Amino acid sequence: MSESRALQLETALRDAGVRITRQRKLLLSVLADCADHPDATELHRRAEAAGAGVSLATVYRTLTTLQAQGVIEKLEFQGEPARWEPADQHHHDHMIDVETGQVIEFTNDRIERLQAEIAAEMGYEIVHHRLELYVRRKPTA
C-alpha cells in the first residue's frame, strides 16, 4: 500500500523528467511510511536505518526537488528545523500540542473561506497560507 504509493510516485516523477535514483527511491519509500512530520535529519536517520546509504546533502536536495514536484510539503513550526509531510490531496492546517510536540491535522471550511474574504476585501488573493494553533490539552474538570 505505501509500497504502491511510492511506486506510483516514481512513475509520475519519471514522467516529469526527474531521474529515479537509488537514493530517491529510498527517500520516497521512507516518506511513504511517515505517519508523522519528520525533519531532514530524522529522514536521513530513517533512510540509513532502512539499509542503504544517502548523504544528508542529498536528503536536502531531494526534499527540495520533491517539494517542487508537489510530492511533499514543508512545515516550518516555531524555531524548529523544517519538517516534511507527504502532500495530501486535501489541504489541512496544524495544531501543535505544546506539551508533547504532537502535531494534529485539521481542516475547517469556514476558516478557509474567511481567509479568502479578508484577503479579497483588501484587494489581494491568497497564494498560500499557514495556520498553526499551539495548544494545550484542556484540564478535564
Q: Which residues bind its own copies (CB under 8 A)?
A: 76, 78-79, 82, 95, 97-98, 104, 106, 108, 110-111, 114-115, 118-120, 122-138
In terms of CB distance, is 21 or 108 closer to DNA? Answer: 21
Question: Which of DNA, its own copies, none lies near 22, with the C-beta cut-off 5 to 8 A by kind?
Answer: DNA
Sequence-separated (6 or more) residues with CB below 8 Å from residue 57: none
End-to-end CA distance of the chain: 42
Question: Which of its own copies, DNA, none lies near 55, with the C-beta cut-off 5 to 8 A by kind?
Answer: DNA
Do 33 and 100 form a contact (C-beta atoms < 8 A)? no
Sequence-separated (6 or more) residues with CB below 8 Å from residue 70: 87
Question: Which of DNA, its own copies, none lies near 137, with the C-beta cut-off 5 to 8 A by kind?
Answer: its own copies
CB of 124 to its own copies, least distance (A): 4
Q: b or e along 54-74 (b: 16 or more beta carbons within 10 Å of the residue's beta carbon)?
A: beeebbeebbebbeeeebbbe
List of residues contacting DNA (CB under 7 A) = 14, 18-24, 39-41, 53-58, 60-62, 64-65, 80-82
Q: How far apart (Å, rounded) are the C-alpha atoms in residues 79 and 111?
A: 25
In terms of CB distance, is 34 or 119 closer to DNA? Answer: 34
CB of 141 to its own copies, least distance (A): 12
